[in-house]
Structure 1
Amino acid sequence: MGVLRDHPELALFLCLAAGYLVGKLRVGPITLGGICGTLIVSLLLGTQKIAVADDVKTVFFALFIFALGYMAGPQFFANFNRRGLTFGVLSLIEMVSVICIAYGLAKAFDLDIGTASGILAGAATESAVVGTATEAIGKLSGLTPDQVKEYQGHVATAYTVCYLFGLITIVLFTSQILPLLMQINLADASRELWQKMRGDTPSLESDEREPLPAMVGRTFLVTLADGRTVGDLEAGLGGRVTVEGIRRGSATVHPAPDVELLLSDLVMVVGRRANTIEAGREIGPETPAIPGLDAPLASSQVALTEEAADGGSIDDLQKRHPEFADAGVYVTDVLRGEQRMPASPETELRQGDVLTLVGSRAGLGKVAAKIGAVVKNDTTDFVYLGFGIAAGALLGQVVVHIGDIPLSLGTGGGCLVSGLVFGWFRSRRQTFGAFPPQAAATIKDLGLAVFIACTGLASGPQAGPLLRQYGALLPLAGIGMVLIPAAFSLLVGLKILKIDKPVLIGAIAGQQCSTPAITSITQVAQSSVPLLGYTVTYALSNFLLPLTGPVLVGILGS
């Protein structure tokens, strides 16, 4: 242990490695996850009084919270519409409920500020609250340095216990108990809702893809379309396929709209699989691929920035822009934040969605210029990243007094707000400020893991006494603070907001930002339908819940 005390960087990375190993342990559908595992290991090592400089914790938390906001920004602002505000009611229920419950517990059981804040963070399964609450405690006036250190340690300990029980509760409640209360079979209800919304397009889980490619190219021998022009053929098929090549004898003919097809021409058609099969009925029998007609198609990721496209479907987008049909360009994938959405014709689009377009290289450029901007995510723009975090740190220094209660976002809350704004601004024109998703996810996960490890190491000495003092209260608080807002949201969602049941289950998981819960839900549902509610409340709660830490600390500290 002497080596770890002399070289705290060894202890820090040992906490990460061992913590993520502990986090992989699985009991049924439940895994602790790397963050909770890291906190458990760091609390144990922290009993040996291993100290890491506070600046390390502050820097890594700023990186984490900015990356979190950056990734959520486009969808957060995109949800300021009628549908988003409807689901936002559930996020507000979560925010108000956890603050009120934590405040009530603090008054009823005479809890200190740190313990109450840790209960809130753990029961809400929102790790960011640990950082915002810890920082807010450090800024309270009237506390000695020893009291600050003690209360900050209580945040981590209470969080660990409440997180464990809160996680188990939200996973089991949403995936197992809610379907029983609603008297539905989640898989059947999700399939029925999908068919109602999307027609015959099959529903897939988030990690699945169609067994047959959605978009294909096929070659046909002209026997039925003799004498028809290319433009007439494409129009007759509703513009859903495009003729990409014509072979006439040994010559290749450019498929201009006025070119007339002749008997025995070989025609290559590109489009969605069902539509290309339909095209064969208009043209003639299918043939093997012909050299010269199997030119590769290009693909490009384009950020949707067109205001008119927000809230419309993929089919609406293609009808509004004839360039899709003229250039033979198709939407094959939709990425919304970290979630992949189905790319069916009826899929509802949002500004900031990243569409994968497939077609001829020249056609891709024409379409991209009309609907948005080609995503440039090859390297991180550290100028944009640095200014964003600096702006958040400055914003966090602003203190607002409401009566006798001083409220401040702190570095964490400030960086969250700046991350949301910078991420949203980047999504509007994705030609600057690149922060590749994998890089952002790595920074987010590493920042939180290092912050949690530092917090746990510093809090280890206070863990034992706190657990002996409040042992039974912490698990019960973790369970109650999940069930109360979830049950209230269930009633409001069904009776007032009239949200479809599978979507509501996903939204309740999202209001608590619980990735394990939505993973379990989609497994039970055998469908990605619950994600339609999860993505909205997840984006909103990712902003609202971290702010509950400073609010609770400000109220109790007054």
Structure 2
Amino acid sequence: MIGELLRSQPEIALFASLALGYFIGSFKIGPIQLGGVCGTLIVALLLGQTGARLAPDLKNIAFALFIFALGFTGGPQFFANIGRGWRYGLLSIVEIVSVLLLVMTAVFALRLDAGTAAGLLAGAATESAVIGTASESIGRLGLAEAETARLQANIVTAYSVSYLFGLITIVLFTSQFAPLLLRVNLREEAERVWRKLGGDGALDEGQRMGALALVSRVFRVGPAAGLAIEALEQRYGCNLTVEQVDRDGARLALEPHLLLAAGDIALVAGRREAVVAAGPAIGTEVSDARFGALAAERVNVVLTRREAHGMTVAQLREQATPEQGRGVYIAAVTRLETTVPALPGTELNRGDVLTLVGAKADVERGARQLGYVLPATQKTDFVYLGLGVLLGMAIGHLGGRVGGVSIALGTGGGCLLSGLLFGWIRSRHPLIGSLPSAAAQILKDFGLATFIAAVGLSAGPDAIRLVREYGIALPVVGILMVLIPGLLSLWIGRMFLKLETPMLLGAIAGQQCSTPAISALVGVTGNSTPVIGYTITYALSNILLPLMGPVVVGLAGKFG
């Protein structure tokens, strides 16, 4: 009865897969969480036993939207990190080369077909997008319909088997095994790096997250009497600002050379640590009804200023004139939808979203100098989106033969490249091509989940056969495909690139495109320093790994 219903109305199977899959994927066992995509695949494989199928057109449209949005959101960071982030980017190259060699070794040793090889790559590297690019590439091989369906089903089954083992391995390797191999206390190392970057080492992560980035205090001037406002602000690295001064009940006009006098009442605002440190040197903190808390504005600004790329937060402030930088503070840095600690030593990239905090006039001035304000819009430019996907489909028809191996990008690879291009153009010309981050996230999440559900339903009947054929070989190879690149990157990053341990382990999690791994790392370290390395390799691997799908299919088809 249920099987007949699902076969006659496959949309029920789709949304059942999404609902149950994301419910299953939400459970955590320690630091391990399957996630909604893998949960959706498992449910779809089970429901696929009933014979429910989704139309191929729906699957193709969903994947095209997902992969374009992936490229669009990652484009600015991808191009920003190609040059200056080479030390971390090298680890992504280590990942790509080593997993490709390991997959081909498995192809020769186990006589894997193209579908199983590509699924092994997707699962072990925990990169679901490979399923789409590889599946489409198999569809272009010109094989019989039954053989094409079998190979595409093998991608999904091999992915589902190797994904779980790859996920567990990368989480445990980065958060537990690697620190033991390096003989370091990861929490102490992260605390040391945090202080090195200019952070306040006295607070734990929970306190940091709860503390306000910008505070204001009212002082009765004592020890600071005779000191000019400009000199006081520069003494604390321009990390605080005198916003108001009252003398004998009258408000004074503020100017840099105004000398403070004993008994003045001054409203001082700035970074919490700077205001706290400066308090005793200014005078006695008081409560005065004439001074309310500073009405701070928060504005998200996309960094486009060319000279700022590669600068640290501290260097950016040092380069600004007192008039330019006065009263504006960077409270947060967002990169690829991930928050990076906005410490003085944090390096900035073009395309970063900076959260500026300060008085309204100050943040507006800072926004004009650094880039453009990210508009709070919910409107998507469908002209731009449609043109981008069309261009991607056109690029996808490009292909050729390399060394006798036929390789074609397909719609997935083409839309990924066009998404990169259109996202980069959008970052340079912000008045065109609006695709709000929330809308882009919906396209990525729903597009990928729908695609995964579609391929899972079609692969259901073949799943058990493939597991029986290879037994534990696929899980073992999946574990090796995480450990070997991870160990290579650990050795290269430590011995030759001289990367700080928290950033290095974050970069290894990023080269594996593993969100659970970085979440576990942040929990172990107690702060977000690993995220600095993670965002760079994640941006690169998230683009390069899907492009390996057609390469693996071509190589395995020739030599498997």
CA distance in 2, matches of 1:260, 1:87: 48
Counterpart position of 1:52: 54
Residue 111 of structure 2 is matched in structure 1 by 110
Task: Provide the aligned C-alpha RMSD in A.
Answer: 2.3
Aligned partner of 1:416 in structure 2 is: 416
- Name 1:500's counterpart in structure 2: 500
Q: Give distance in 1, aligned partners of 2:201 and 2:341.
A: 9
Aligned match of 1:391? 391
Quote how far apart the aligned CAs of 1:150 are: 1.0
Q: SS of the counterpart of 1:184?
A: coil
* C-alpha contact 1:374 1:430 (8 A) present in aligned 2: no
Partner AA of 1:290 in structure 2: A
TM-score of the two chains, using structure 1 as the length reference: 0.93
Secondary structure in 2 matching 1:300: strand
Structure 2 Cα separation of the partners of residues 258 and 103 of structure 1: 70
Over 3 Å counting, the alpha-carbon distance change for 1:110 and 1:261 in structure 2 is: closer
Q: Residue 269 of structure 1: SS of its match in structure 2?
A: strand
Q: Superposition pairs for residues 100-499 of structure 1, below 5 Å?
A: 100-141=101-142, 143-198=143-198, 200-201=200-201, 205=205, 209-223=208-222, 230-231=229-230, 233-234=232-233, 239-248=238-247, 251-257=250-256, 261=260, 264-291=263-290, 294=293, 296-322=295-321, 327-379=326-378, 380-499=380-499
Query: Secondary structure at 1:198's aligned position in 2?
Result: coil
Is contact 1:22–1:34 with CA below 8 Å preserved after alignment?
Answer: yes
**What are the superposed Cα offsets for residues 300-333 of structure 1, whole Å, 9 maximum, x if unpaired?**
1111111211111112111222256664111111
Q: Which portions of structure 1, spanning 4 or more consecutive aligned residues, are displaced by more than 6 angstroms?
A: none
Alpha-carbon distance in structure 1 between the residues aligned to 2:227 and 2:58: 71
Shift of 1:116: 1.4
1:208 CA displacement? 7.0
Corresponding residue of 1:98: 99
Q: Does residue 19 of the first structure (1) align with residue 21 of the second (2)?
A: yes
Alignment match, 1:546? 546
Deviation by residue 1:40-80 (Cα, 9 ceiling, x = unmatched)? 11011111111110011111111111122222222211112
Deviations along 1:492-512, whole A, 9 cap, x unmatched? 222332323332222211111
Q: 2:31 aligns with which of 26, 29, 32?
A: 29
Instruction: Find the aligned partners of 1:68 and 1:231 in 2 and give their Cα distance.
Output: 46
Distance change (3 Å), C-alpha of 1:229 and 1:195: closer
Contact 1:242–1:326 (CA under 8 A) maintained in structure 2: no
Is the 2:174–2:509 Cα contact (8 Å) retained in structure 1? Answer: yes
Distance in 2 between the 1:120 and 1:137 partners?
A: 15
Aligned residue number for residue 69 of structure 1: 71
Equivalent pair of 2:245/2:265 in contact (CA under 8 Å) = yes
Q: Shift of residue 261 of structure 1? A: 4.9
Distance in 1 (CA, whole Å) between partners of 2:279 and 2:140 is 72
Letter in 2 for 1:357: L
Kept in 2: contact 1:313–1:347 (CA 8 A) = yes
CA contact (8 A) 1:304 1:353 kept: yes
Contact 2:324–2:365 (CA under 8 A) maintained in structure 1: no
The residue matched to 1:47 in structure 2 has which SS?
helix
**What is the CA–CA distance in structure 1 between the aligned matches of 2:236 and 2:163, rounded to whole Å?**
56
Distance 1:458 1:12 in 2: 12
Question: What is the distance in 2 between the residues matched to 1:175 and 1:489?
Answer: 15
How far did 1:24 drift? 2.4
Alpha-carbon deviation of 1:429? 4.2
Q: Deviations over 1:439-483 (max 9, x none)?
A: 222221111111000000011111122122122222112112212
Alignment CA distance shift 1:265-1:458 (3 Å): same
Find the counterpart in structure 2 of residue 9 from structure 1: 11
- Cα separation, 1, equivalents of 2:325 and 2:472: 68
Most deviating of 298-307 and 147-156: 298-307
User: What residue identity is the alignment partner of 1:473?
Assistant: A
Say whether residues 1:510 and 2:510 are aligned partners: yes
SS at match of 2:197: helix
Measured against aligned partners, the alpha-carbon deviations of 1:84-115 in whole angstroms (never above 9, x if no partner) come to 22222221121122222222222222222111
What is the distance in 2 between the residues matched to 1:113 and 1:203?
A: 52
Against the structure 1 CA distance between its residues 448 and 324, is the aligned structure 2 distance closer, same or farther, given a 3 Å change threshold?
farther
State TM-score, norm by structure 2: 0.93
* Residue in 2 that maps onto 1:530: 530
Tell me, yes or no, if the aligned pair for 2:191 and 2:201 is still in contact at 8 Å. Answer: no
SS in 2 for 1:520: helix
d(CA) in 1 for partners of 2:27, 2:222: 63
Identity %: 48
> Deviation at 1:228?
5.7
The residue that corresponds to 1:520 in the other structure is 520
Aligned residue type for 1:25: F
User: Take 2:94 and 2:229, find their aligned partners in 1: how far apart are those partners?
Assistant: 57
Is 1:555 matched up with 2:555?
yes
Aligned partner of residue 317 in structure 2, secondary structure:
helix
Shift of the alpha carbon at 1:153? 0.8
Looking at structure 2, the residues matched to 150 and 538 of structure 1 have their Cα atoms a distance apart, in angstroms, of: 31
- Partners of 2:345 and 2:87 lie apart in 1 by 21
Instruction: Letter of the 1:550 partner, please give it.
Output: P
Change (3 A) 1:45 1:211: closer
2:43 alignment partner in structure 1:
41
Taking structure 1 as reference, are residues 47 and 320 closer, same or farther at Cα in structure 2, changes over 3 Å only? same
Q: What does the per-residue CA deviation read over 1:198-246, in whole Å, with 9 as the maximum and x for residues that have no partner?
A: 36445765x8744432321122234555566545554565544322223
Preserved contact between residue 377 and residue 435 of structure 1 (Cα < 8 Å): no
- Secondary structure (helix, strand or coil) at the match of 2:50 reads coil
Distance 1:331 1:73 in 2: 23
Is 91-100 or 1-10 further displaced after alignment? 91-100
Give the total of aligned pairs. Answer: 555
Residue pair 1:303, 1:430 contacting (<8 A) in 2 also: no
SS at match of 2:344: coil
Deviations 1:10-29 (A, max 9, x none): 11000001111221233332
Shift of residue 133, structure 1, vs aligned partner: 0.4
Residue identity opposite 2:97 in structure 1: V
Q: 1:240 to 1:152 in 2, by over 3 A?
A: closer
For the residue of structure 1 that corresponds to 2:82, the secondary structure is coil
SS in 1 for 2:534: helix
For residues 293 and 203 of structure 1, do their structure 2 counterparts lie closer, same or farther at Cα, with a shift above 3 Å needed? closer
Q: Conserved in 2, the CA contact under 8 Å of 1:327 and 1:359?
A: no
The letter of the residue matching 1:545 is L
| 1:517 CA drift (Å) | 1.2
Instruction: Say if 1:290 and 1:256 are closer, same or farther in 2 by CA, change over 3 A.
Output: farther
How far apart, in 2, do the equivalents of 1:72 and 1:269 lie? 39
Structure 1 unmatched runs, 5+: none
Q: After superposition, what is the alpha-carbon deviation per residue over 1:315-358, rounded to whole angstroms, capped at 9, x for unaligned?
A: 21112222566641111111122221222222221111111112
